[in-house]
Structure 1
Amino acid sequence: MQSRPKSEFQSWLVAIFFGIIIAFFCREFVVSPLVVKGASMMPTYENQDVIIISKISDIDRFDHVVFKAPYEDEYYIKRVIGLPGDTVEMKDDILIINGIEYEEPYVNRSTDNPFQKRITENFTLEELTGESKVPENYLFVLGDNRLRSSDSRHFGLISMDAILGESKFRIYPIRELKVFWGAEEKRIN
């Protein structure tokens, strides 16, 4: 009679052990939660939003990626603008990638300064990084809140090795629950 409760207890221990191993594996190699800090991606993300990042996604243009910050022990979240081989330019607040103009409906265009005519200054990739095209294994990233974002305009290209993952879900606040699938690109012409 004693062996049945002991056997049931052992099976529960085995199930709990394997559950912990699977959860650890998933968090380390598949998905992970993260808290957004700061306003650099407003209005897409607010300060203290909780997101789930996929560590196994292929990165595409306009995806939101989380990466190790170049000069501090933090993680940043930014939007991928330039992929390897791309040319990138900003002219009169219009994003131009490989000679094609794109709308950027995700950019925060509100400003307290009535004299602020542009949200993003004019630049070319070469002016910022010394590269005419985004090199292999690198990305060019920008924040959605351009007036308050430290991004590739300031610290240069991001190595693919620094990428932690791609944001797939916003799970908190609950009323702002959102799934991010596919690029939000839209050509102007």
Structure 2
Amino acid sequence: MIKKSSSAVRSTFEWVGTIAVSLVIAGIIRVFLFSPYDVHGASMEPTLINDEKIIVNKWSYRMHEPAYGDIVVFHAEEGRDFIKRVIGLPGDRIEIKKGKVYRNGKMLNEPYIQGTTYTRDDARTTVVPKGSLYVLGDNRENSRDSRDLGAIPLSRVVGRADVVVLPIKHTKLLTGQEAVGSR
């Protein structure tokens, strides 16, 4: 009877130990590598829809710099996290004229935007400062982005949105590179 009791205690400790190690590993993955985020609002439609859940890769920008077209999550000034598309990198000159976005004098091909876009702040030119990004929502008329917030410091970027995971029927990889070209 004593053997069964000590065996049960040992088994319980092993089970608790396994759960504790699993929780620590899951915590490390969530804090340092990948995190789920909910999409709130329509600012990234049609690419991302309200209430979708995405996975954000927090490690990617430790390996390389953000690229044109990446969809990033960043800490906004008012303490909320925003999801937007990278349009400009440090040193780029961004201008919006008649609803079209120009980077360094060349109009961007933006196939992820549906229909006609009437972008506010036409004719305002911005040079992206060192250590910052210029980001816009895909739904330009319903987005708070660099037009309002200014360039976003890289230090406020959480990571790159890599995949939509929920709802299941919306699951897709988010590459973005073919949409706006590469540096």
Q: TM-score, normalised by structure 2?
A: 0.86
Partner of 2:119: 120
Match of 2:28 among 16, 25, 28: 25
1:176 alignment partner in structure 2: 170
Q: Does the aligned pair in 2 maintain the 1:109–1:119 contact within 8 Å? A: no
State yes or no: 1:35 paired with 2:21: no
Structure 1 residue runs of 5 or longer lacking an equivalent are 111-117, 127-132
Shift of 1:182: 5.2
SS, match of residue 119 in structure 2: coil
CA RMSD of aligned residues (A): 1.8
Structure 2, unaligned runs of 5 or more: none
**Structure 2 residue corresponding to 1:74, chosen from 74, 80, 83:** 80
| C-alpha deviation, 1:49, in angstroms | 0.8
- Which secondary structure does the structure 2 equivalent of 1:53 belong to? strand
Instruction: Give 2:57's match in structure 1, choosing from 54, 76, 81.
Output: 54
Question: If each structure's helix is expressed as a fraction of its own residues, which one has the higher value?
Answer: 2
**In percent, how many aligned pairs have the same letter?**
38
CA apart distance, 1:186? 4.5
- Structure 1 moving runs of 4+ over 4 Å: none
Give the Cα separation in 2 of the matches to 1:56 and 1:68. 16
Q: Give the drift of 1:109.
A: 2.6
1:135-172: CA deviations, max 9, x gaps? 11111110100111111111211111111111111111
Provide the rounded CA distance (Å) in 1 between the counterparts of 2:137 and 2:80: 16
1:135 to 129, 133, 136: 129
